[in-house]
């Protein structure tokens, strides 16, 4: 029998959010379950992945330069500190799992990520609640610093039970020539998710790309933001939001602020499979330009799966469900890779729902 207060999260739970329980093929791992740090280790030279409390105790500069206390911190914060040292290119991805498996009311996190100049890393953060956890709040603040010429890809995968409320807040600074890629996948979105990441591209040539895949099922309210300030010449930003509605309320936002000569594009696309009683998708792609050489564009579309698309694929020999699945997979393809079987399973689930919706 499974106990909800067992300190090590269930392997299946971790797999739901693309976290490898043993840390195989990962350069570093941090696992937090409820208020307990289960493990934190690095297998790569130049990569540090420890708890934020330990980091604050070890590095006095951290609190001065990179750690900005939030109202939510309430004394000793929980969360991780990730640092890749100057020039270190880490080939294997690192991972963090932030799990809620017991009735702890709320989990309050404050993470700090630093990629020093010319460093690079792919990082997966999986946030998940236990199968039988009825309710709770997950509040997470993440500060990310991407140094000159550094490259950081952060893929966040969420999987929440129906009673969980989630408030991720993140701020990212990118310096000259740095590249930041943020992928967000939430196919079990709990009761509500309110996310409003803000990125400042402060150095010339810095770039950011946001991609998100969200599923809003019945009983879910999702508000997904993404503001990017293009503050230096030659900066570039791209936002691609994809949302599938099966009865939930979804608001997709994305605001690009061009303060210098830059290129930026925001694309919000929604697919309504079944709006149910009060489900909807609202897309608000925004542009604000303060410079004559800021080239900025946006697009937004919301629709259902076109019957002609399904029929065309069926006329090539696909079953209806295979056709719907292929279309949804294509719709959700924003270039997010490496999530393995779990994403595939969710897409199959959506395809199943879509198949019923067509009847």
Partner 1 sequence: MFPVPGKLEIKNLAVEVGGVRVLHNIHLTVPPGEVHVLVGPNGSGKTSLLATIAGYPQYRVVSGSISYDGTDLLPLGLTERARLGIGLLEQRPPTINGVKLRLLLDYIGGDDPERKRFIEDLIKETDHAHLVDRNIHEDLSGGEIKKAGLLLLLARQPHFAMMDEPDSGVDMDSITLLCQLMNRLLSPEREHPAKRRTGLIITHSDVILGRVSTDKAHVMIDGRVLCGGNPRIIMKKIRESGFDSCVDCLHQGE
State the minimum distance, in angstroms, from the CB of residue 359 to partner 1.
12
Residue 315 within binding range of partner 1, rule CB under 8 A: yes
C-beta of 3 vs 308, nearer to partner 1: 308
Confirm if 219 and 249 have CB atoms less than 8 A apart: no
Partners of 167 in beta bridges: 139
Q: Toward partner 1, which CB reaches closer, 148 or 346? A: 346
| C-beta separation of 249 from 215 below 8 A | no
- From 61-69, 212-220, 224-232, 310-318, give the range in contact with partner 1 by CB under 8 A: 310-318
Element (H, E) at 275: none
33 forms beta bridges with 36, 99
Residue 320 CB, shortest distance to partner 1, in Å, is 7
**From 86, 135, 282, 322, residue interacting with partner 1 (rule: CB under 8 A):** 322
Q: Kindly state the smallest distance separating residue 317's Cβ from partner 1, in Å.
A: 4
Phi, psi (degrees; rounded to nearest 5) at 288: -140, 120
The structure tokens listed for 260 are 């210098």
| Residues sharing a CB contact under 8 Å with residue 27, sequence separation 6 or more, in sequence order | 42, 43, 44, 47, 90, 91, 92, 93, 94, 121
The verdict on 11 binding partner 1 (CB under 8 A) reads: no
Q: Choose one: 8-16, 153-161, 255-263, 301-309; the region binding partner 1 (CB under 8 A).
A: 301-309
Please choose, out of 130-138, 152-160, 245-253, 322-330, the segment that lies near partner 1 by the rule CB under 8 A.
322-330
Q: How far is the CB of 283 from partner 1 (least distance, A)?
A: 15
Residue 89 DSSP one-character state = B
Tokens describing residue 171: 């701020």
Residues in the chain: 359
Report the residue from 329, 339, 349, 358 that binds partner 1 according to the rule CB under 8 A: 329
Beta bridge partners of 287: 256
Toward partner 1, which CB reaches closer, 148 or 242?
242
Strand boundaries in 34-78, DSSP class E: 36-42, 47-51
- Could you say which of 38, 62, 302, 314 contacts partner 1 (CB under 8 A)? 314
Q: Sign (positive/negative) of CA torsion 226, 91, 204, 297?
A: negative
- Interface region with partner 1, contact rule CB under 8 A, candidates 83-91, 162-170, 290-298, 326-334: 326-334
Tokens, residue 24: 């195989």
Q: Which is nearer to partner 1, 135 or 320 (CB)?
A: 320
Residue 97 falls in which region: left (phi positive, over 0), alpha (psi -120 to 50) or beta = beta
Interface segment toward partner 1; rule CB under 8 A; list 148-156, 218-226, 283-291, 324-332: 324-332
Q: Which residues contribute to the site for partner 1 (CB under 8 A)?
A: 306, 308-309, 311-320, 322, 326-327, 329-333
């Amino acid at each position: 029998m499974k106990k909800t207060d067992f300190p090590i999260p269930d392997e299946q739970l971790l797999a739901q959010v693309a976290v490898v329980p043993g840390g195989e093929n990962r350069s570093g791992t941090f696992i937090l379950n409820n208020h307990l740090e289960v493990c934190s280790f690095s297998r790569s030279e130049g990569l540090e992945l420890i708890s934020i409390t330990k980091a604050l105790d070890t590095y006095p500069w951290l609190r001065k330069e990179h750690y900005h206390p939030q109202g939510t911190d309430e004394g000793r914060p929980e969360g991780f500190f990730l640092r890749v040292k100057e020039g270190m290119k880490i080939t294997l991805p690192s991972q963090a799992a932030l799990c809620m498996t017991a009735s702890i009311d709320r989990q309050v996190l404050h993470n700090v990520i630093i990629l020093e100049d010319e460093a690079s890393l792919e990082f997966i953060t999986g946030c998940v609640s236990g199968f039988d956890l009825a309710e709770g709040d997950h509040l997470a603040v993440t500060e990310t610093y991407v140094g000159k010429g550094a490259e950081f890809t952060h893929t966040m995968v969420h999987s929440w039970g129906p009673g969980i409320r989630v408030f991720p807040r993140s701020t990212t600074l990118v310096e000259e020539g740095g590249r930041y890629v943020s992928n967000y996948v939430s196919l079990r979105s709990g009761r509500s998710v309110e996310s409003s990441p803000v990125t400042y591209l402060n150095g010339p040539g810095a770039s950011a790309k946001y991609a998100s895949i969200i599923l809003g099922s019945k009983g879910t309210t999702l508000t997904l933001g993404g503001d990017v300030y293009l503050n230096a010449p030659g900066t570039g930003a791209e936002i691609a939001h994809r949302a599938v509605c099966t009865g939930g309320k979804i608001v997709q936002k994305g605001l690009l602020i061009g303060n210098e000569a830059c290129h930026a594009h925001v694309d919000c696309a929604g697919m309504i499979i079944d709006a149910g009683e009060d489900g909807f998708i609202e897309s608000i792609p925004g542009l604000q330009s303060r410079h004559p050489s800021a080239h900025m564009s946006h697009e937004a579309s919301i629709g259902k799966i076109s019957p002609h698309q399904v029929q065309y694929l069926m006329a090539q020999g696909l079953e209806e469900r295979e056709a719907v699945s292929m279309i949804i997979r294509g719709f959700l393809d924003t270039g997010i890779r490496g999530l393995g079987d779990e994403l595939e399973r969710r897409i199959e689930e959506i395809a199943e729902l879509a198949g019923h919706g067509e009847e």
